[in-house]
Structures are given as structure tokens and as C-alpha cells.
Amino acid sequence: MSELLPAVIDAHGTAKRWQEVDAIDVTFNFWGNLLDLKGFPGHFRPSVSIDPHSPRTTIQHLDRDSENRWIFTPDRVWIERPDGSVVAERSEPRSAFAGHVRDTPWDQLHLTYFLGYAVWNYLTSPFLFVEPGFTTRELEPHTENGETWRRLEVTYPDHIVAHTKVQTFYFGEDFMLRRMDYITDVLGGVAAHYTYDMKTVGGITFPCFRRVVRRTPEGPLINGPTSFALDYTDLQVRNR
């Protein structure tokens, strides 16, 4: 394990505090040009609850016209009514993205899978990286906006659903997350994902604004269109 990772975890809330967390609830504004391209235009304001120790995400208010719950697990996604009856479901949901390109439209179950795994990863990082099966190594530092950021390459185990298997995380001098680089396998997109507005809730520190832009060999298109943006408006940490 890189010596960078323990410092990052301590800065975000300590491993001991993380083990005391039972659930995380967040409401956020969600928009972006890729969301428009996939057939979900406009701004959304879903509420999400995750199990931080096992990949499961429950999403509400993603469908503006109902109280249905959109539920992600790695092997199955489904939409259910408040009484628990199932509206739609899909097993082996990642296989449903086979052959997709950037402008291939999504249905509601595609969106459930993408948003479910993405938000689960965002809320559990960096604590997730010490779990069995993860490997990390520190890369050469990176300079951006007059700051020097340390870089951590993280390789995910096969059982953890993520944007892609190998991702790079950038941390400032305060060990807080500044940026992530990855390829979004289900989209085919090459992304630079910036994080801002760090807030501590229940002893855990989260970036509360996230902006994703395209990344080229010359660097991120920071002044270009926003692929996705997430703006947390309410965040709660529940203890065991």
C-alpha cells in the first residue's frame, strides 16, 4: 500500500470512524450534456441512500412523476413502487451496455445502474481502497492551477463495480481529493472528474460538488462542456 493512502484516509475521516458508519443519505442536483444525450435532459434532484460497506444504492425522485425507488446492486437493478412491487428489472445489468457508443440512448434501468454504482463509489472513496482486492501505487506528482497534487493509481478488484478497473486520483497538500481520471467503460468516454466544496458531515469529509469534463491527450477540456455535474444539497451520515 502506498504511504499516501493512509494520510488520505485520515484526512477524510479515519478508518475507525468509517467503520462506525451504517448508511449515507444524499440529495443532489444532477445534470450534464451526456445526460441530455442519453435521453434524460434537464436537471434532476434525486435522493440517494447507500450501504457504505456493500454495493447497494437506493434512488428516489429520479422519476419526477412518481415515488418509485430505483435500486442498484452489481448483479441486478430494478425499479419498484412504494409497496415493493417491481415495475422493471434487469439481471447482469452491465452487459446491457454492450455495443453502446457515446450517443446510444439509455432506458431507466441503464440510468439506475450508472448512477447507482457511480454515486456509491463517490461516497465510499477513499475508504474503499483499503478493502481486500484493491491495489494502489503512487505515481509522479502533477502540477495544476499552481498546486502540486500527489497521484494515486487505484486498481479495483473484479467484484467492485466502477467506471473502469484502473483509475487515478489526485490529492492536494491537505490530502483532500482534487481530481479523478478514468475511462467510463459503459460510455466509452475519457474523463477528468474535478471535486470541490469539501464539507465534513458526521466526521467524514466529502467533496460536495463534482464536475466531469472530457479528457484528451493534451489534457482536460476544463473550459469545455460539462459532461456530468453533481451538487450535493443535503448530506447525512447514519451510524451503526
Under the banding of pLDDT at 50, 70 and 90, the label for residue 1 is low
* Dist. CA 184–CA 237, nearest whole Å: 28
Give me the mean pLDDT over the 129-157 stretch. 97
Give me the mean pLDDT over the 98-115 stretch. 94
Higher pLDDT, residue 169 or 62: 169
Report residue 5 CA to chain centroid gap. 19
78-105 pLDDT, tens digit each: 999 999 999 999 999 999 999 888 889 9
4-232, which class in CATH? mainly beta
Give me the mean pLDDT over the 215-221 stretch. 94
Under the banding of pLDDT at 50, 70 and 90, the label for residue 66 is confident
Percent of the chain topping pLDDT 70 = 99
pLDDT over 70 (residue 74): yes
Percent of the chain topping pLDDT 90 = 91
Three cell numbers written together for 105 = 440512448
pLDDT over 90 (residue 187): no
Give me the mean pLDDT over the 4-27 stretch. 97
Instruction: Report pLDDT for 64.
Output: 73
Instruction: Report pLDDT for 128.
Output: 97
Measured at the alpha carbon of residue 54, what is the angle toward residues 51 and 56, in degrees to the nearest 5? Answer: 60
pLDDT over 80 (residue 227): yes
The chain-wide mean pLDDT, for the chain, equals 95
Give me the mean pLDDT over the 217-221 stretch. 93
pLDDT over 80 (residue 65): no
Q: Which range among 51-60, 112-121, 181-190 shows the weakest confidence by mean pLDDT?
A: 181-190
What residue segments make up the domains of the chain, in order of their start? 4-232
